[in-house]
Amino acid sequence: MQVPEVGLEPTHPKGHRFLRPARLPVPPLRHRNCKKGGYTFMRYCSILCRVVGALLFGSVAANTFAQAGQFDPLSADENVEVEHVWRFVQETESRSSLPRAIDDNWIENARLGTLQLHGCAAALVSADGLAVTSATCLRSLETWIRPDDSVFVAGTLSDERKLPGLTVRQLVEIREFARIEDASEEMEAGVEAELIASDDSSTFREYVWRTYSDVRLVVIPPAAITDFGSEEGVYPRYAIDFALFRVYDSQAQPLDTESYFAWIDRSPFVRERLFATAFDANTPFTVMTLSDTFSYNGTISPPYTTLYGMLDQHYSHGAIGAWELTEDWLSGIKENDMATALNFPVVGECAQTGAGLINVDMEILGIAFDNANTEEGTHCVAMSTSGILALLRTVLNAEGVADELAEQALP
Amino acid sequence: MIHSRMNGLSVGLPLLMVVLAGCATSAVEVVQVIEQPLVVEEAPPPVAEPVEEASFEVDRFDVDLGRFDGGKVWTFDNPPVDWFTEEYGIDADSAWFAKARLGALRLSSGCSGSFVSDRGLILTNHHCARESITDVSRDGESLLEEGFLAATGADERKVPDLYVEQLWGITDVTRRVHGASRIVRGDTERVQARRNKASDIEEQLGAAAAARDSTLHVEVVELYSGERYAAYTYRRFEDVRLVMAPEEQIGYFGGESDNFTFPRYSLDLAFLRAYDKEGNPAATPHHFAWSTEGASVGDAVFVVGNPGSTSRLGSVSQLVFERDYVLPQQVAALERRAELLRPFANSAESDTADALNNMWFNVSNTLKSFSGRLVGLQNDTLIARRSAAEYQVQDDLFKSDSLSGRYGSLFQELDELQLSKRAEAGRMAGFTFFGTTLGSRILLRALYGYYYANLQRRGFVDQEIITDVRKDALALDDFPAEVDESLIKLRLREIQEALGAQDPTMRSLLGEITIDSLAAGMVANTSLVDSAGFADLLDKGFLGSDDPTVRVISALAPLYFTAQQQVESFQNREDLLVAELAALRFALYGTDVPPDASSTLRISDGRVGGYVYNGTRAPAFTTFYGLYDHFHAYRDVSREWDLPERWRNPPEALDLSTPLSMVSTNDLAAGNSGSPLLNQNLEVVGLLYDGNIESLTNEYVFSDRAARAISVDVRAILESLRHVYGADRLVQEIISESDE
């Protein structure tokens, strides 16, 4: 899956996400002054205003937006959707289709456990700021400088490497009020707000984000592993696509957070119900179901792939090109229980690359990394958390990180 | 599966078709029962508006005709020596072809096989040996499930009624056959005269061969629809014994779901052994050595086996009829049966489970294959390609005055015949698969009963035929009553829908009651629920009995036989026209194009290689790692990927990276299952067992773009025999002459 460079509009494989019926009744609110917290992505603005405006509000409004260059487009895209989704979840009748455990508290926790990083999402997975995303999300950074073929594992906190130019943010509060004067005037450092207004400017909503610009790399496998097979839009798939990073606070301490998802060490169940958490324009928060096996290639698709399958690909393709595993990976993978789940498909499009797939108990089972075009529509392909844990303990020699995931905090 | 899966269906079909064809003449007296005048009206197409002429999005003039659109199933009569040299740079002389021919085998079960040692050891597929494995199971044994390995020669078990044949020699007898028809006028008469002559020659040569060696017999083979005739002398081995078979769970790993697909991981193999008349392992100097190195991507490989027929050489109008009528009707009928049977297939009582599972197996397998073909035909490119080929033939035809005089109207006649078939297609739709084993046992027994009674009445019918019919009828297995009842209801609804609500036959049959109560009443009160009751009724006189099925079948059978008679007459006409088309092609292109496959020995060339699939690339090989990937991944979904106990935790010595299945571009058709896949030195590198899903449309046009033949890799066979089965005796025998 392609991930945009910082500052560009998030691209989408299908290119027409705004035309989906589900999107049409969305926004009673219109953005006004978004320039509260000092966002400076003006380039983003002009592109996005036109695109979103034209598709959502019609061409007249689009002209208005195009002329009114002061609107911050970042919020145009994302806040409208956040609005939509939170409201969706808050409506009693909508929520009745969800498990009872999903209450306001659950939703707030899920929201706080989710991070946004340029066109991607990430999920906090320990009380000490450790987060997981798709490797592509980090490699696509303009400021990414590590060679693709290298593996990085920080053995200790002090080994963790700062990722320059990367800021992640967390949606900490949503405020509603009737007068624009009630909007926050001055934000403390590290906090920014976005304001959107209803059509008639009778109500306003403010999204308050906390930003973190001290983000450090913890683990990333080499590109040959995260992009194994060089496949796109395909399932069955055998890639080990993930990266772990840590969020630090302004005192350069690992972020102390109460909201995170517990790492789970098991294969997903067929038809298990999962929730994708992301702040994507399309779906920030989506209920997804693990795929029942679907028609594929004259047979039925496997519910997940395994480490056995990855080795099968290596040997089947003659151990060359995109399917070649180096000797250390070959032997490292063989140290594991190779029946461990590797990738699995979930019904529907991915909310966003890097989105966490969590269950009702706030446990994380997968990380979305690609959309596959199958005979039965788009399926989101995810990297299984049990597969990651197994590899951390073996070929990656990252016992410390594995322990942190198991303990849900730094040892 | 590419052999008798189809046969499983057609075993029933020709059985009754042959039987009932004999009835065609008597049907005249039977027809009087029909109350409805025969109204010929254009049948509505079942799915889409029938296309007057093939319509194409793809312009036929843009299509590049492939040199091998007609296929690559070469005969040993005219081996493609130049092509093999040109393409593969090998010196395939007559000795090379003779070696390829003599190592290959035709099994009486409809499969292919090969000799792989000088002591009669035979390699074929597990799915070809299914029945044999069951047949040699003793009380308390379930060898199909448990697998079998003969520890010593004395433990090898004789398979009843199984024989294998080796193509010993080929003699061209075209001149002799054609000579007989030189002065005969009339197309039908000429065909008949040729067939009579062919049968005389077969008898003559056969007697001479048998006098030399009692294991030899002769079959005269018709090639190019009668433009060429050849006498094939076969050496038959009547004593065949089971040596080794893996457990069904690994032999048929992936089950029905994975059938016709790749990547694939089944160990679809079995070993048999031919014995001579003295009861010793047959001396087989002509056999294939085992390649311990296997094949690599790009290698030239050759399949030697006995493919059945294809539909590559007919006219475009025939294809369009198949696309618009035949296949949609068959697919719809199969889908309804599959849906009906699904809940019963795995939950039946043990004494009917096999019968139901076999039917379910046949229905789902045939459905998959036919659906695949239909999808292929609905693809404009395929029809465009065939149209382009047809225009090429017409172009070439009209360059010759004599040919255009003789064949000028051929395509038009074929087109017109399709129009006539269309007019009847609607009425016949209700009888799709009627008279085959894909339906109610009660109705089928009643149909047999009706036919048997009519045969007896006619008096002049050969007693042997009557005995055979009775034997076939009584061999039918039983279904649970509730399954039979559902199948009867389905059939009656189909007939009613095809004939229309106002049809007098159905109206008088039903009277005031519904189809459901008619079927329920029949099933509750008939004696035809099992063979014993049926035999009893046959002896007492079925039609004179008060069994409730008599009234029903007396109304339906005449409709069916009339329809069948109509089909027969169309078929005869079509056979003649297609034979002329073959003659025309032969006149234009000679033996450059192979004749259609005919269940006789052919050699097909290709190369090992993967292909583009599912948005990525399918590799040329799979490995044991993939086997375990599938075993674990599907465990909560289905038992089809389950493994037998001894495979679940493989011994450390088993190298999981060993190639397990492999794909190559060879042409194949049903009947090829069990064929050896040979390298250019004629060593076995694989054991053919299936085609991938993309190969289904090769029924109509051969393509090697994504269509592939699937074989078990010989390296996986050796690895399994050594480390999983401990079959050292077998391993020693196999590799004694190999390069290891």
- The per-residue pLDDT for range A101-121, each reduced to its tens digit, is 888 888 889 989 999 988 899
Among B629, B639, B662, pick the best mutation site for testing chain A contact (most A Cβ within 10 A). Answer: B629
Residue B14 confidence (pLDDT) above 70: no
Distance CA A316, CA A303 (A): 21
Is residue A289 left, alpha or beta, with left meaning phi > 0 and alpha meaning psi from -120 to 50?
Answer: beta
- The per-residue pLDDT for range B694-724, each reduced to its tens digit, is 999 999 999 999 999 999 999 999 999 999 9
User: What b/e sequence results for A220-248 when a residue is b if at least 16 CB atoms lie within 10 Å of its CB, and e otherwise?
Assistant: bbbbbbbbbbebbbbbbbbbbbbbbbbbb
Beta strand ranges found along B598-699 (DSSP E): 602-607, 611-613, 616-618, 621-623, 659-664, 676-678, 683-691
pLDDT of amino acid B386: 92
In a domain, A120, yes or no: no
In a domain, B221, yes or no: no
- Lowest-confidence segment of A69-78, B440-449, B466-475, B542-551 by average pLDDT: A69-78
In a domain, B78, yes or no: yes
In a domain, B203, yes or no: no
| Residue B355 pLDDT class (50, 70, 90 cuts) | confident
pLDDT of amino acid B33: 25
A304 and chain B in contact, CB less than 8 A: yes
* Total structural domains within chain A: 1
Our CA dihedral for A352, A296, A223, A382, rounded to 10 degrees, sits at: 40
In a domain, B225, yes or no: no
* Residues B296 and B331 occupy one common structural domain: no
* Residues B271 and B381 occupy one common structural domain: no
Average pLDDT over residues A292-317: 94
Looking at every residue in chain A, the average pLDDT score rounds to 76
DSSP H or E run through B52: none
Average pLDDT over residues B211-217: 96
In a domain, B224, yes or no: no
| Neighbouring C-alpha atoms within 13 Å toward the C-beta of B648 | 5
pLDDT of amino acid A152: 95
Distance to chain B for A322, nearest Cα, Å: 11
Distance CA A79, CA A37 (A): 14
- The per-residue pLDDT for range A305-324, each reduced to its tens digit, is 999 999 999 999 999 999 99
Residue A337 confidence (pLDDT) above 50: yes
- Lowest-confidence segment of A402-406, B301-305, B464-468, B489-493 by average pLDDT: B464-468
Average pLDDT over residues B133-151: 94
B620 and chain A in contact, CB less than 8 A: yes
* Residues B276 and B364 occupy one common structural domain: no
The one-letter code for the residue type at B138 is: R
pTM above 0.90, yes or no: no
Determine contact, residues A191/A208, Cβ cutoff 8 Å.
yes
| Residue A97 pLDDT class (50, 70, 90 cuts) | low
In a domain, A290, yes or no: yes
| Residues 6 or more apart in contact with residue B700 via CB below 8 angstroms | B310, B311, B312, B319, B373, B376, B377, B382, B386
In a domain, A316, yes or no: yes
| Residue B462 pLDDT class (50, 70, 90 cuts) | confident
Closest CA to A365 of A240, A230, A268: A268
Residue B639 backbone dihedrals phi, psi, to 5 degrees: -90, 0
- The per-residue pLDDT for range B294-332, each reduced to its tens digit, is 999 999 999 999 999 899 989 999 999 999 999 999 999
* Residues B343 and B275 occupy one common structural domain: no
Q: Do B614 and A296 touch (CB under 8 A)?
A: yes
Determine contact, residues A26/A80, Cβ cutoff 8 Å.
yes
Distance CA A380, CA A235 (A): 9
Residue B214 confidence (pLDDT) above 70: yes
DSSP H or E run through B645: helix B645-648
pLDDT of amino acid A95: 59
pLDDT of amino acid B55: 40
- The per-residue pLDDT for range B642-680, each reduced to its tens digit, is 999 999 999 999 999 999 999 999 999 888 999 999 999
**Inter-chain CB pairs, A–B, below 8 Å:** 96
pLDDT of amino acid A76: 30
CA angle at B180 for the pair B175 and B181, rounded to the nearest 5°: 100
Among A307, A308, A314, A381, pick the best mutation site for testing chain B contact (most B Cβ within 10 A). Answer: A308
| Residue B63 pLDDT class (50, 70, 90 cuts) | low
In a domain, A193, yes or no: no
Nearest chain B residue to A314 by CA distance is: B657
Domain CATH for B117: 2.40.10.120
In a domain, A382, yes or no: yes
pLDDT of amino acid B348: 62
* Residues B305 and B398 occupy one common structural domain: no
| Residue B31 pLDDT class (50, 70, 90 cuts) | very low
Between the two ends of chain B, the Cα-to-Cα distance in Å is 32
A299 and chain B in contact, CB less than 8 A: yes
pLDDT of amino acid B346: 66
Distance CA B484, CA B337 (A): 12
| Residue B190 pLDDT class (50, 70, 90 cuts) | confident
- Lowest-confidence segment of A372-381, B1-10, B117-126, B390-399 by average pLDDT: B1-10
* Residues B602 and B557 occupy one common structural domain: no
Looking at every residue in chain B, the average pLDDT score rounds to 87
Domain boundary, last residue among B578, B609, B639:
B578
Distance to chain B for A165, nearest Cα, Å: 35
* Residues B408 and B317 occupy one common structural domain: yes
- Cα–Cα distances (Å) from B526 to A89, B101, B107, B517, B520, in that order, read 62, 53, 40, 14, 10
Average pLDDT over residues B265-278: 97
Kindly provide the ipTM of the predicted complex, given to two decimals.
Answer: 0.83
pLDDT of amino acid A104: 82
Note the residue count of chain A.
411
In a domain, A273, yes or no: yes
Closest CA to B162 of B137, B142, B133, B120: B133
Q: Do B632 and A308 touch (CB under 8 A)?
A: yes
Distance CA A121, CA A133 (A): 7
Distance CA A30, CA A87 (A): 16
Distance to chain B for A240, nearest Cα, Å: 16
In a domain, B413, yes or no: yes
> Which residues are bridge partners to A373 per DSSP?
A378
* Residues B377 and B479 occupy one common structural domain: yes
| Residue B738 pLDDT class (50, 70, 90 cuts) | low
Residues of chain B with C-beta less than 8 angstroms from the C-beta of A313: 619
Nearest chain B residue to A372 by CA distance is: B615
In a domain, A270, yes or no: yes
Determine contact, residues B287/B731, Cβ cutoff 8 Å.
no
Q: Domain limits at B336?
A: 4-53+313-578
- Cα–Cα distances (Å) from B366 to B4, B7, B306, in that order, read 11, 10, 20
Domain CATH for A267: 2.40.10.10
Q: Domain limits at A376?
A: 258-407
In a domain, A196, yes or no: no
Residue B3 confidence (pLDDT) above 80: no
* Total structural domains within chain B: 2
Q: Do B628 and A229 touch (CB under 8 A)?
A: no
Most confident of A72-76, B114-118, B471-475: B114-118
Instruction: Give me A304's structure tokens.
Output: 């997940």
By Cβ distance, the residue of B613, B623, B629 closest to A306 is: B629
pLDDT of amino acid B329: 95
Distance CA B154, CA B30 (A): 57
Closest CA to B136 of B118, B117, B167, B161: B161
**Could you tell me the maximum CA-CA distance found in chain B, to the nearest angstrom?**
78
- 3 state SS of B483: helix
Interface of B with A in 262-291 (CB under 8 A): 263
Distance to chain A for B613, nearest Cα, Å: 8
Determine contact, residues B424/B39, Cβ cutoff 8 Å.
no
| Neighbouring C-alpha atoms within 13 Å toward the C-beta of B513 | 12
- 3 state SS of A289: strand
- 3 state SS of A350: coil
What percent of chain B stands above pLDDT 90? 68
Q: Do B613 and A297 touch (CB under 8 A)?
A: yes
| Residue A189 pLDDT class (50, 70, 90 cuts) | confident
In a domain, B608, yes or no: yes
Determine contact, residues B301/B710, Cβ cutoff 8 Å.
no
Is residue B186 left, alpha or beta, with left meaning phi > 0 and alpha meaning psi from -120 to 50?
Answer: left
Instruction: Give me B536's structure tokens.
Output: 């009893």
Residues of chain B with C-beta less than 8 angstroms from the C-beta of A341: 633
- The per-residue pLDDT for range B540-591, each reduced to its tens digit, is 899 999 999 999 999 999 999 988 888 889 988 998 899 899 989 999 988 8
* Residues B40 and B128 occupy one common structural domain: no
Residue A359 confidence (pLDDT) above 80: yes
Q: Do B260 and A269 touch (CB under 8 A)?
A: no
Nearest chain A residue to B648 by CA distance is: A339
* Residues B307 and B340 occupy one common structural domain: no
Residues of chain A with C-beta less than 8 angstroms from the C-beta of B625: 308-309, 311-312, 315, 338
Residue B46 confidence (pLDDT) above 80: no
Beta strand ranges found along A243-323 (DSSP E): 243-248, 262-263, 273-277, 285-289, 295-296, 299-300
* Residues B154 and B290 occupy one common structural domain: yes
Nearest chain A residue to B663 by CA distance is: A316
Interface of A with B in 74-133 (CB under 8 A): none
Q: Do A300 and B625 touch (CB under 8 A)?
A: no
Distance CA B699, CA B578 (A): 16
Distance CA B519, CA B497 (A): 16
Complete DSSP assignment for A184-248: -SSPPTTEEEEEEEETTSS-EEEEEEEEE-EEEEEEE--HHHHTGGG-SS-SS------EEEEEE
pLDDT of amino acid A215: 97
Domain boundary, last residue among B578, B608, B631:
B578
Residue A154 confidence (pLDDT) above 90: yes
* Residues B603 and B704 occupy one common structural domain: yes
In a domain, B524, yes or no: yes
Distance CA B393, CA B186 (A): 25
